[in-house]
Structure formats: structure tokens, C-alpha cells
Amino acid sequence: MGKARGLVLAVTAAVVLVTCGFAQTTQRGFAFYTQYPSLEVFPGREVSLEVKLQNTGALPEDIALTVSGPEDWDARFETASYPTLRIRGVHLLPGQEEPLTVRFKARPPEGAAGGDYQFTLEAATADEAIRHTLQVTVTLLAEEEEPAEETEEILRLLVDYPSLENAAGEDFTFTIQIRNQSDQDQVVDLAGQVPGGWRAYFTPRWQQDTRITSIKVSANSTENIRFVVTPPYGVEQGDYPLTFVAQAGDYQATLDLKAVVTGTYDLGLASEAEATGAGDTWNIKAVEGKERVFIMYLYNRGSAPITNLKFYATKPEGWEVEFRPDTVESLPPTLTLNDLGTVEVVITPPERAIPGDYQIRITASGAEDHATAQLRVTVGASVGWGWLGVGVVVFVVAALTAVFVRLGRR
């Protein structure tokens, strides 16, 4: 009985020992990584890469660190904090929230060819039971070119309003500041790059009637000039780039500007006689109760179309005025007679209108401009009334004749 009990105790102890040993084995581990496994470096510059280690087990671990790769690169591990030390291993405690940071460093040898270089970073426990490796690629770039020697900036150009808006045919005036940043006086030649057909000239800021092609700017001082640009009348709307050029000796400075050309609108009304040289003027005749058609011509002396034209009339009481058509969608700039617009103005005086002169005010109104004109209408009696008048006169004459004849017999 005692022997059996001893055997059970021995077996139980052996199971406990095996279980503990197995638990200790499974609770070991550590992480070994970098966030940047591929990087670039210029010749003569040192590679410096952060590498992280963290104990993920339950026991402290001593970790050996090694690097293999191209010769003559002086590849190594160093501490991440100052003062930096070369290291071959680290001690990792369990339960640390933050990983331990070390640095992998290497310096390309002088004259090394550009290209990709492979390094193997290895970390292993003291008993070599756990081993991790990292592959790091270092790309050696071509030799840095020496930056070109910068030319001294002699002139500096400034403008408060580099973009101006105006109508075609109007002046665009840019006030430009020329700053001489050298220690010598400079004679600055002026030039402008503008679209074909445009006019450009320069004046001193305070002498607008004096046109110049150059200006003297004293050492370390500033002069202001006016750059005046005029687009031709009738140029299309849009944005037009301009360039102001200032040159002192071999040094040239430029300034980019912009002219925004807007449209002009100038609506006018004309009679047939004014438009074609024949036909009705603004003085016409009409008959009571009868339609009278007056042809009105529209013209646009601007540079952009006038849109959505509508027509209105201020007329005497009882009169009718109708426009055919009553709307014109667009009236382009008038360059030839073919560009003229026409509208029929149909006028009807009332029945039994008193003969005489009447005024009708005609207004054409578009989205961009409007115009008015006065039309004088002379109303005469109708033919029927004329014959009635003749009949009345004849009757009166006949009656008077009969009276005189009767009186003469007595």
C-alpha cells in the first residue's frame, strides 16, 4: 500500500515538472522589426535606421545582434539615445509597454557605384532558441550635382494689380515698381510683349504725357513707371497674357500680367432713311383707324452682342402700337448693313382721331443696354370724311344759290 502511494506521488511530480517546463518554453518570444525596410541615401551620407525590439514572453531575454552585408560599409548597431554607443546585444525585460529602439547604421564607401545594396539584420536569444532576421535594402543614389551658382538679382519688379479689366479700345494701365538691388546706378531698358495689333508704351508715374523707353534707377533705390496697353477696338472678349520686360546690361527681369477684355454695348435705333438712305424718316403720316407700318432698324456700336431685346411704346390714349417681332434674342456688333436688326412698328390711330401731329416714344431694352427714339405721326382725315365734307360744301352752296335765286325773282 505504501509503495503504491509513493508511485502515484512520483508520477504526479513528474507531470507537474513537465507541465511547468512546457509552460516556460511556450512563454518565450520577442519582436524584431523596422518600419522602413527600404531606403535611399546619397554618396557620402550615412544610413541611420530605427530598429525596434520588444520582449513578448514572460522571461527576460539577452538578444545578440549581428549585421551582414556589403564590405566597407561599416554596418553596425548603435544605441538610439545620446551618447551613441556601438552595441552587439540588448537585454529585454518582459512586460514593457514600449519597444526598445536601436539604430542600424552604415556608410557607403567613397567611390561606391549607385544601386541597391542588401543587408541582413539578425537578432537571436542567448541560447539561439529564437532567431529573427530583417532584410534591409539601401539604394545608393547618383552623385549629387553641385547647385548652379545663382545669378545676383539686380532688378526686382513689383506690381499691386497684375490683372486689370477693361473694355476693348480702352487703356489698361499697370503701375510697376522697378527696384535696383545693386550698389551701382542702372539704366533700365523697358519692353513689353503684347498680342498683335495692341498698342503699348511707358511713361514715368507722375509725367503721363512723357513716353519713355528706358529709365535710370539709382543704386539701392526704386522708380515707378506706368505700362499702358490698349487693345484694338472690336477685339474679342477674354483674358490676354502680357509680359513686362526690364533689362539692365546682361540682367533681365520679367513680370507676367493679364488684361481681361470685357465687351462694350451701344444700342441705337434708326429710321429706314437713316439706315438705307431712302424710305421713312422719324416723321410719318397715318390715317385714322388704319394700320401704318414703320420699319425701325437696330444697330450695336459695341464689341459684344446685346441680348434679350424687348420693345415698348408710350403712345396717345386709344392708339395701338405693335412690334413684329416683339423680342430679339441677340444683336451682334454692327460691322456691315447685314448686321442691322429690323423691327416692324405697326401703328393704328383710333377711329375719328382728330387730325394733327402725335408723338410716340419707342424704347428698345436689352440685358446690357437700352435706347429710345421719338416718332412723330401726322394723322389726316380719311377719304370718306373728305367726300362727306365735299358733299356738305356742295349742299351749302346749292342751298345758298336757291335762296339767292328766289330773292332775285321778288
Q: How confident is the model at residue 118 (pLDDT cuts 50, 70, 90)?
A: very high
Phi/psi at 3 (5° precision)? -65, -40
Q: Are 229 and 174 a contacting pair, CB within 8 Å? A: yes
What is the pLDDT at residue 17? 47
Contacts of residue 272, Cβ cutoff 8 Å, sequence gap at least 6 = 278, 279, 280, 281, 295, 297
Share of the chain above pLDDT 90, in %: 66
What is the pLDDT at residue 207? 87
Q: How confident is the model at residue 144 (pLDDT cuts 50, 70, 90)?
A: low
For residue 288, the number of C-alpha atoms closer than 13 Å in the C-beta half-sphere is 16
Q: How confident is the model at residue 265 (pLDDT cuts 50, 70, 90)?
A: confident
What are 4-63's pLDDT values in tens digits? 555 444 545 444 444 445 444 558 899 999 999 999 999 888 999 999 999 999 999 999
Mean pLDDT calculated for residue range 57-85: 90
Amino acid at 117: Y
**In this structure, what C-alpha cell is assigned to residue 305?**
452682342
What is the pLDDT at residue 20? 46
Length of the chain: 410
Domain(s) labelled CATH 2.60.40.10 in the chain stretch across 30-140, 155-262, 267-384
Rounded (5°) CA angle 194-195-200: 40
Q: In what order do the strands lie in the sheet with 292-300?
A: 267-270, 292-300, 341-348, 320-324
What is the pLDDT at residue 147? 53
What is the pLDDT at residue 23? 46
d(CA 42, CA 46): 8
d(CA 103, CA 117): 18
Distance of CA 35 to the CA centre of its chain: 41
Q: Could you tell me which CATH class the domain 30-140 is placed in?
A: mainly beta
Mean pLDDT calculated for residue range 331-342: 87
**Burial status of residue 389 (CB atoms within 10 A of its CB: 0-12, 13-18, 19 or more):** exposed
Radius of gyration of the chain (CA): 51
What are 153-178's pLDDT values in tens digits? 899 999 999 999 998 888 999 999 99
What is the pLDDT at residue 388? 59
Q: Are 28 and 126 a contacting pair, CB within 8 Å? A: no
> Which range among 79-93, 154-168, 396-410 has the greatest average pLDDT?
154-168
Query: Using CA of residue 297, residue 347, residue 286, residue 292, what is the dihedral sign?
Result: positive
In the predicted structure, residue 209 carries a pLDDT above the cut 80: yes
In the predicted structure, residue 350 carries a pLDDT above the cut 90: yes
What is the pLDDT at residue 405? 66
CATH code for 155-262? 2.60.40.10
d(CA 189, CA 247): 5
In the predicted structure, residue 213 carries a pLDDT above the cut 70: yes
What's the pTM value of the predicted model, to 2 decimals? 0.44
d(CA 54, CA 96): 7
Alpha carbon of 287 to those of 194, 362, 379, 384, 405: distances in Å?
Answer: 61, 20, 5, 11, 41
The per-residue pLDDT of the chain, averaged, comes to 87
d(CA 72, CA 284): 109
In the predicted structure, residue 395 carries a pLDDT above the cut 90: no
Mean pLDDT calculated for residue range 82-90: 86
Q: Are 169 and 232 a contacting pair, CB within 8 Å? A: yes
Q: Could you tell me which CATH class the domain 267-384 is placed in?
A: mainly beta
What are 222-248's pLDDT values in tens digits? 999 999 999 987 788 899 999 999 999
What is the pLDDT at residue 387? 59
**In this structure, what C-alpha cell is assigned to residue 221?**
533705390
